[in-house]
Chain A
Amino acid sequence: MAAPASSDSDCGRTESEANSKWLDAHYDPMANIHTFSACLALADLHGDGEYKLVVGDLGPGGRQPRLKVLKGPTVLTESSLPTLPAAAATFLMEQHEPRTPALALASGPCVYVYKNLRPYFKFSLPQLPPNPLEQDLWNQAKEDQIDPLTLKEMLEGIREKADVPLSVQSLRFLQLELGEMEEFVNQHKSKAIKRQTVITTMTTLKKNLADEDAMSCLVLGTENKELLVLDPEAFTILSKMSLPSVPVFLEISGQFDVEFRLAAACRDGNIYILRRDSKRPKYCIELSAQPVGLVRVHKVLVVGSTQDSLHGFTYKGKKLWTVQMPAAILTMNLLEQCSRGLQAVMAALANGEIRIYRDKALLNVIRTPDVVTSLCFGRYGREDNTLIMTTKGGGLIIKILKRTAVFVEGGGEAGPPPAQSTKLNVPRKTRLYVDQTLREREAGTAMHRTFQTDLYLLRLRTARAYVQALESSLSPVSATAREPLKLHAVVQGLGPTFKLTLHLQNTSMARPILGLLVCFLYNEALYALPRASFKVPLLVPGLSYPLETFVESLSDKGISDIIKVLVLREGQAAPLLSAHINMPVSEGLAAA
C-alpha cells in the first residue's frame, strides 16, 4: 500500500526530471501496431545512414500479421505475413560492401530473410524424425496389413511409453470414433507422417568478430526444446543444443567461433546457461516464477519475473540482487547510451510506467498515457538515443534522450519511506472525558461500589424474574420433557380488526403432541374475539402451525391492551406456556 503512494508522490518529481531528460518526438495513439519487444528491430536497412524501425506486427487481436518498416513517424512499407511473427532481427549476412544488414523474421517453422526489404531466402526448420514404430504401423496400414482397431491400440501403446511423441496425424486418428477410422486411414495412409516444430524465439550472435559491423549468426529457439545456430551465408545449421524446456527468451554474448555464453529463459521458469562447447546446459537458475524478460547488462543477467520483481544473476547462476516493482512487468529491454558508456535495463510496468534501472538503482521513471507492451532503444533515423514504445491500444510513442541528459542514481526513492514523515492519527479526547477522569479519581471507590451494587441487584432481579417465569410458565417456550413447545405470535392489520397469528411448534425430536388447548385472556371491554379458546390439532414434530384468529378492537379512544395467550393441556389448570401480546393502537375507527 505504501508503494503506490510513494510512487505517486514521486511522480511529480520524476515527471519534471523526465521532461528534462527526454524529448517527446512522436505520439500516435492510433498507429495500429500490436507487437512484442522481440518483434522490434532498428537497422540501417538501405545503407543510407538513416535507421529504420522494423516491426513484426501481429495486428489487432493477432489476426493480421504484417511486416511494417517505419521511417520517422511514417510507415515506409507494409507487407502481410502468412503467420504471426515470433521474433524479428537484423544482422549482417556477408562481408562485402555495401554492408547493409538483412532482416530476419521468425514465423511458425520458418525464418524469412529480407534484403533491401525484398524477400531473399526462406529457411524452414528441418522435419523432426518420426517415431520409427509409428512409421512402421502406418506403413503396414498403407499395405492394408493392419485394421484400424489394431492400429489404434498399437498407437495408444506408443503414446503411453515412447520418448518421441506421435505425429499430429496419429494423434488425430486416436481421437476418432470407430466409424470414422476406416475413412481416415484410407485418406491419410499414403502420406508420410510428419513432425514439424516451430520457432519460439530468435536472436543474433556474432560469428567471429566482436565489431559492431561483423557478420552474425541467427540463433533460434524451437518448440521441441532445441537451440539452433544458423550460418549467416549458407543457412545451414552450425550447431544444435538441447534444453530441458522450451526457450522463451535468449541472451547471448561472445562470438560463435571463439567462445560464447548463452542464457535461455524457459517455460519451466528456469534459466539455463550454456557455453560454446556444451551441448547441455551448464548452469541453471531456478526462478520459482515465470520469466517475463531477460536482458544482459555487462556481465549481469537481469530477469523480470511474474512476481513483479527484477533479479540480477551472474552467468554462473548466483543471485546478486532483487528489486521489487510496484506493478507487474510487461516487457523489458536494454538501454545502451554509447556516448556515456551506460547500460541499463528498461522495464515496462502494468501501471503505465517505464522504469530504468542500473543494477539495483532506479535511474529514471517515464510515465506513459497507455500501458507499454513493447519497447526498444537505439539509433533511429539519425538520432542516436531513441526510445521506441508501442502500447497495448496499438499506439506508438517515440522519445529522444537529450544529448545533455545524464542518468544519476537516486532518481527514484531513497532514504526512509515517505510514510515516516506523516503524523500519527491519534484519537483526541474531549473535555468531557478529562472531567470524567477527574471525577473518577476523586470518587473512584464510591463509583466502584455503586456499580457493583447495581450490577448485583440487576443480576438478582434477572434471576428472580427468570425463576418466576419458569415457575408460572410465562415464557413462550416450554421445555418440559412431555410437551416441548415453542410459540410466537404475529399481529397484522391497522384496526379496528386485527389478525392474530400464533405459530406453535412442537420442538420434540419424534413425538407428536395431542390434546392441547389455546386460550385467550383479554379485557372484554376493549377487545372482542370470536372464540376465547380453541383446540389445537395434533402437532407433528418440527413443523410450525399457524393458528389464526381475528381480534376486534372495541374502544375508539385509541387505547391498547395486552392479550395473554395460554397454551394448556386438556384437563390441567396450569398452562404449559404463555405469551403476552402487546396489541397495537387501532388506527381505524371502531365499527359503529
Chain B
Amino acid sequence: RTEHPASLDSEQGRVKKTPEFPILEKQNWLIHLHYVRKDYEACKAVIKEQLQETQGLCEYAIYVQALIFRLEGHIQESLELFQTCAILSPQSADNLKQVARSLFLLGKHKAAVEVYNEAAKLNQKDWEIWHNLGVCYIYLKQFNKAQEQLHNALQLSRHDLTYIMLGKIHLLEGDLDKAIEIYKKAVEFSPENTELLTTLGLLYLQLGVYQKAFEHLGNALTYDPTNYKAILAAGSMMQTHGDFDVALTKYRVVACAVPESPPLWNNIGMCFFGKKKYVAAISCLKRANYLAPFNWKILYNLGLVHLTMQQYASAFHFLSAAINFQPKMGELYMLLAVALTNLEDVENAKRAYAEAVLLDKCNPLVNLNYAVLLYNQGEKRGALAQYQEMEKKVNLVKHSSSLEFDSEMVEMAQKLGAALQVGEALVWTKPVKDSKSKHRTCSTSKLAVFQQPLGSNQALGQAMSSAAAYRKLTTGAGGTSQLTKPPSLPLEPEPTVTASSADTTLATEASEQIREK
C-alpha cells in the first residue's frame, strides 16, 4: 500500500528543506465516526485521503478499510489488509484477531486457530480470543477443546454468545441436560435475551417439562412479542391444552412476519382441526405441505384430517407419503391400516398393523386397533394376543407418566375385553377426563368379506409410487379403529442430532424400495 512514495518525497525535498510529516492518526476519529454510523462511502473517502497523505502508513485507516471490505463480503481482500496491519504493528493482538476472523470466515479454521493462538500469546486476558478459538474448534469438530476454550472465555468475562456456543456443543453431542444447565446459567446472567429464553424453553419442551418451558417462552414473548420461534412453540403448547383460539391469535403475529413458514401453517391447520373446522384445517395444511413437501409431520396431519373427514382414499395417499419420509413410526402404519380397513382392504390393513406393532413400543392404541380388527375378522386368538400386548403397554404407561387415557379408548378396550372374556384383568385406574385429543371410532364390525386384492402384492407396491413401503400389505375388510390426533407438533427447527442408524428390517426394506423408484 504505497501509493506515490517517490513523487511525494521528491516534491517534499524540493519544496522545503525539512518538511513536516503529517500526523498519521490525524483523522482516525473521523474514520471511526463514519464507520460506526455505517456511512461507509464517506468513510472510504476519508480513508483514501488519509492513506494518500500518509503513504499507506496509517494503520487504523487500513484496519477500517479491511473491516468495510469484510462487511461487503470481500473477505480475501480484508484478510490481506489485516495482514498489512499486523505488519505495521506486530504487537497488536487486535490485528491478529481480525486476521484470524477473516480466515475463519473463509472457512480456514485450522489457520484461524493458529493465528488466534498467536494473538492469545499477546493478550491473555481477552475473552474474545478464547471464545473464537472455541468456535473454531466446534467447526473442527473438536468439542472437548472447544468446551475448554469457551469456559476459559467465560471465566474472563461472561457473554451471551459464549453461553449459546457452549449450549450448542452440548446439543451437538446430544446432551440435553448439560445444555439446559448452560442455558439456565445464561438466562440468569442475561434475563432479557429472548434467544436464550426461547432456546431454553424449547429444550424444556423437548424434555417434556411443560411448566418450565411455558414459563421461559412466555418470558421471551414479554420482551419480544413478535419472536417467531417462541410464538410457535408457545402456540403448540396452547394447542395441546386445547386453547386453540389463543394460539390462533398468537399465530397471526407470525403469519404477518413469516408468512411462508411451513410449521406455522401446520400449527394453524391443527388449530382449526381442534376447532372442528375441517375444511380450513385442510386448506392450511395443504399450504404447509406446498411450502414443505417433504415434511412428514404435515403429511401425517393431512392424513389424519382426511381420515376424520372420511376421505379414506386421500388419507391413504398422504399417510403413505408420510411413511416414505418417516418409515420408523408405528402410529403412521396404524393410521394407514385404519385407512385401508375403511377402504375394505383388510389384508393390507393387517400387514400395516403388523408393521405398526413391530415398530411401536408404547402406544396401546396400536394394539387395541389391531385387536379390534382381528376380532372383527373372527381371529380371536390373534386379538387376544394383541389385547394382552396392549395391557402390558398400558401398565407401562401408567407407571411412567401422568398422561390420562382417552375415555373412548378405555371404553372400547373394556368392550373388547368383555367380548374376549378377559375384561377384568385390566384396571384403568387413572380417572378419565374429557379427551383432549380427538378420537374417532368408526362404525364397528363390518362384514368380513373376501375382498379380492387389486392386483398382487408386488403389483400394488410397485404401482404406488408413494406407497412403495407397503409391498407386503394387502387384502381387506373392515374393522373398528380409533385414532389419536398427535399433539400438533411443536415442529421447531430443533437440532435433531439423532439420526440413529438402528434399523428394523422394515426400515431397510422401505428405503430400498424408495431407491428402486
Is B225's CB under 8 angstroms from A416's CB?
A: yes
Q: Which residue of A lies closest to B281 (CB)?
A: A426
B312-320, B401-409, B490-498, B499-507: which lies at the interface: B312-320
- Interface residue? B390 (CB, 8 A): no
Of A83, A188, A437, which contacts B311 at CB under 8 A?
A437
Is B35's CB under 8 angstroms from A290's CB?
A: yes
The distance in angstroms between the C-alpha atoms of A239 and B459, with both chains bound, is: 93
**Smallest beta-carbon distance B20→chain A, Å:** 9
Q: Which residues of A contact B6 (CB under 8 A)?
A: 180
Cβ proximity bits A407-420 to B, threshold 8 Å, 1 near / 0 not: 00000000011011
Is A306's CB under 8 angstroms from B462's CB?
A: no
Interface residues on B, range: 35 or more
Q: Which residues of A contact B310 (CB under 8 A)?
A: 441, 444
Is B342's CB under 8 angstroms from A444's CB?
A: yes
Of B37, B282, B343, B459, which contacts A330 at CB under 8 A?
B37
Is A108's CB under 8 angstroms from B26's CB?
A: yes
Q: Which residues of B contact A445 (CB under 8 A)?
A: 312-313, 342-344
Is B463's CB under 8 angstroms from A456's CB?
A: yes
Of A86, A434, A444, which contacts B279 at CB under 8 A?
A434
- Interface residue? A16 (CB, 8 A): no
Is B316's CB under 8 angstroms from A448's CB?
A: yes
Cβ proximity bits B1-28 to A, threshold 8 Å, 1 near / 0 not: 0100110010001000110011111111
The distance in angstroms between the C-alpha atoms of A84 and B192, with both chains bound, is: 41
The distance in angstroms between the C-alpha atoms of A442 and B30, with both chains bound, is: 78
A171-179, A335-343, A464-472: which lies at the interface: A171-179
Cβ proximity bits A503-515 to B, threshold 8 Å, 1 near / 0 not: 0000000000000
Is B226's CB under 8 angstroms from A417's CB?
A: yes
Is B23's CB under 8 angstroms from A175's CB?
A: no
The distance in angstroms between the C-alpha atoms of A382 and B257, with both chains bound, is: 48
Q: Which residues of B contact A441 (CB under 8 A)?
A: 309-311
Q: Which residues of B contact A148 (CB under 8 A)?
A: none
Q: Which residues of B contact A456 (CB under 8 A)?
A: 454-455, 459-460, 462-463
Interface residues on A, range: 35 or more
- Interface residue? B363 (CB, 8 A): no
The distance in angstroms between the C-alpha atoms of A417 and B161, with both chains bound, is: 28
In A179-193, the 8 Å CB interface with B consists of 180, 183-184, 187-188, 190-191
B88-96, B204-212, B366-374: which lies at the interface: B88-96
Is B36's CB under 8 angstroms from A451's CB?
A: no
In A145-191, the 8 Å CB interface with B consists of 159-161, 163, 165, 168-169, 171-172, 175-176, 180, 183-184, 187-188, 190-191
Q: Which residues of B contact A419 (CB under 8 A)?
A: 226, 252-253, 255-257
Main DSSP-derived SS at the A contact region: mixed
Cβ proximity bits A451-468 to B, threshold 8 Å, 1 near / 0 not: 111011011100000000
- Interface residue? B183 (CB, 8 A): no
**Smallest beta-carbon distance A511→chain B, Å:** 30
Is B253's CB under 8 angstroms from A417's CB?
A: yes
In A193-216, the 8 Å CB interface with B consists of 196-201
Is B312's CB under 8 angstroms from A444's CB?
A: yes
Is B159's CB under 8 angstroms from A288's CB?
A: yes
Q: Which residue of B lies closest to A183 (CB)?
A: B13
Instruction: Give 22 CB contacts A-B under 8 Å.
Output: A1-B257, A3-B226, A86-B29, A108-B23, A160-B90, A168-B57, A169-B21, A180-B9, A268-B94, A288-B159, A417-B225, A419-B226, A419-B255, A422-B255, A433-B279, A440-B311, A445-B343, A445-B344, A452-B464, A453-B454, A455-B464, A456-B459
B interface residue numbers (CB < 8 A to A): 2, 5-6, 9, 13, 17-18, 21-30, 32-33, 35-38, 42, 45-46, 54-57, 89-91, 94, 127, 157, 159, 161, 190, 192, 224-226, 248-253, 255-259, 268, 272, 279-280, 282-284, 286-287, 309-314, 316, 342-345, 454-455, 459-460, 462-465
Instruction: Report, nearest first, the 9 A-B pairs whose CB atoms are least far apart.
Output: A419-B256, A456-B463, A455-B463, A200-B29, A168-B21, A448-B313, A223-B25, A427-B283, A290-B36
